């Protein structure tokens, strides 16, 4: 019998990429999304296939989850409120989705004997300002944003559920993921700022923030590897680029991909883009290589070109 996969946040950026790739494997795909940020059109093609189904609903709805998980074999948990900057102002509502929603899902999985979960965590935020760079998974978690805290808290529940019930629980600690059809993140912001004014680009902070950027296809590949690789209990794994890249370099790459010249860069100043922004987040991906036999294959400039091309194209068809 074909595997049945529940993808929460299945109409979001990463979730829709997972739906579109996994539907082609013949697995039964259930895409659950409350559409607060996602777009059903991202999975329109997949929904034409008999093995793909959309469920409009929220991970805050425990009875719905209990019903939905009845015949599910594995959960890819992507639904969340992912805005780090907004997570200070949205403390309680983000907690209700990111932490309570994850706990709902885990408990509903246990009620239905669903044995495996891949959770989209965040290596850019759970470590906070770690002194260890590149940062391996076993350093203490010390988030400096509420968003990072919500991911770290969710992981602790993955650990307790794994220990209490024998759940197989991957925490895929993702770096900054970019690519189609993302409508957020630094490259998206730069693109739209430059569309408005191709002569000047304002950069938040001093541009020296050093982060990991991973093309979405590489992120999907890592999920596929985790689906096929069996582990015992809870295991966090960094899924990120091999090296860190500064925001200044991202700006230059976006400017080049848009074919612009002589753009004046201006800075809001300071070492952080915003309160809670981590200055340096460079994860160590040795565990991903060892356990999943995964590493990124898309070069940054290639990925950025593909993404900018897609933004140009989707702007024309809007
Ligand atoms: N994009 C990144 O760079 C990145 C990095 C690290 C971790 N992550 C994590 O990966 C996951 C996917 O991120 P994304 O960039 O695709 O974000 P996204 O906002 O595009 O997707 C999230 C999806 O979840 C849905 N959603 C929100 N609240 C929901 C709820 N209560 N019930 C059901 N669905 C709900 C939204 O409508 C949206 O479709 C998130 O958990 C995010 O925290 C993303």
Is residue 23 over pLDDT 90?
yes
For the residues 244-251, what does the mean pLDDT come to?
Answer: 97
For the residues 241-266, what does the mean pLDDT come to?
Answer: 97
Q: Is 13 in the pocket of ligand 1 (CB under 6 A)?
A: yes
Task: Give, using CA atoms, the residue closest to atom 26 of ligand 1.
Answer: 79
- Do 94 and 60 lie in one domain? The reply is yes
- Do 100 and 231 lie in one domain? The reply is yes
Contact 114, 94 (CB under 8 A): no
Q: Which atom of ligand 1 is nearest to the CA of 79?
A: 24
Q: How many domains does the chain have?
A: 2
Q: Is 14 in the pocket of ligand 1 (CB under 6 A)?
A: yes
pLDDT attached to residue 315: 73
For the residues 141-167, what does the mean pLDDT come to?
Answer: 98
Whole-number average pLDDT of the chain: 97
Task: Give, using CA atoms, the residue closest to atom 11 of ligand 1.
Answer: 78
Largest Cα separation within the chain, whole Å, is 59
CATH code at position 252: 3.90.25.10
For the residues 194-222, what does the mean pLDDT come to?
Answer: 97
Q: Is 163 in the pocket of ligand 1 (CB under 6 A)?
A: no
Lowest mean pLDDT among 7-21, 185-199, 264-278: 264-278
Top mutation candidate among 37, 84, 250 for ligand 1, by most atoms within 8 Å of CB: 37
- Do 173 and 276 lie in one domain? The reply is no
Residue 293 region, left (φ>0) first, then alpha (ψ -120 to 50), else beta?
A: left
Is residue 55 over pLDDT 70?
yes
Cis check for the bond before 134: say yes or no (omega within 30 of 0). yes
Catalytic annotation on 147?
Answer: yes
Contact 178, 124 (CB under 8 A): no
Please count the CA atoms within 13 angstroms of the CA of 17 that sit on its side-chain side.
19
Is residue 210 over pLDDT 80?
yes
pLDDT attached to residue 318: 60
* DSSP state letter for 93: H
CATH code at position 35: 3.40.50.720
Range of the domain at 310: 186-209+244-282+303-317
Is residue 288 over pLDDT 70?
yes
Q: What are phi and psi of 136, to 5 degrees?
A: -80, 170
- Do 166 and 310 lie in one domain? The reply is no
pLDDT attached to residue 317: 65
Query: pLDDT tens across 130-147, in order?
Result: 999 999 999 999 999 999
Q: Which of 282, 272, 129, 116 has the alpha carbon at shortest distance from 204?
A: 272
Q: Global pTM?
A: 0.97
């Amino acid at each position: 019998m074909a595997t049945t996969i529940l993808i929460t946040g299945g109409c979001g950026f990463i979730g829709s990429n997972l739906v579109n790739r996994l539907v082609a494997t013949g697995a039964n795909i259930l895409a659950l999304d409350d559409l607060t940020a996602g777009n059903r059109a991202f999975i329109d093609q997949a929904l034409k296939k008999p093995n793909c189904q959309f469920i409009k609903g929220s991970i805050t709805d425990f009875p719905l989850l209990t019903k939905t998980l009845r015949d599910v074999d594995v959960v890819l948990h992507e639904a969340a409120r992912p805005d780090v900057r907004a997570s200070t102002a949205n403390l309680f509502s983000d907690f209700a989705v990111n932490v309570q929603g994850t706990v709902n899902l885990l408990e509903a999985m246990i009620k239905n004997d669903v044995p495996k979960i891949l959770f989209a965590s965040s290596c850019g935020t759970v470590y906070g300002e770690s002194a260890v760079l590149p940062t391996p998974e076993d350093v203490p978690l010390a988030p400096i944003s509420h968003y990072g805290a919500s991911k770290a808290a969710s992981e602790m529940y993955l650990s307790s559920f794994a220990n209490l019930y024998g759940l197989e629980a991957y925490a895929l600690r993702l770096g900054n993921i970019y690519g189609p059809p993302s409508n957020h993140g630094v490259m998206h912001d730069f693109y739209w700022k430059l569309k408005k004014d191709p002569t000047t680009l304002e950069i938040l902070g001093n541009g020296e923030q050093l982060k990991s950027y991973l093309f979405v296809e590489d992120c999907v590949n890592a999920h596929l590897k985790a689906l096929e690789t069996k582990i015992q209990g809870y295991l966090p794994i960094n899924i990120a680029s091999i090296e860190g890249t500064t925001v200044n370099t991202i700006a230059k790459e976006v400017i080049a991909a848009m074919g612009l010249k002589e753009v004046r860069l201006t800075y809001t100043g300071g070492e952080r883009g915003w309160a809670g922004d981590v200055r340096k987040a460079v994860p160590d991906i040795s565990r991903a290589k060892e356990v999943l036999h995964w590493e990124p294959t898309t070069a940054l400039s290639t990925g950025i070109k593909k993404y900018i091309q897609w933004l140009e194209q989707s702007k024309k068809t809007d």
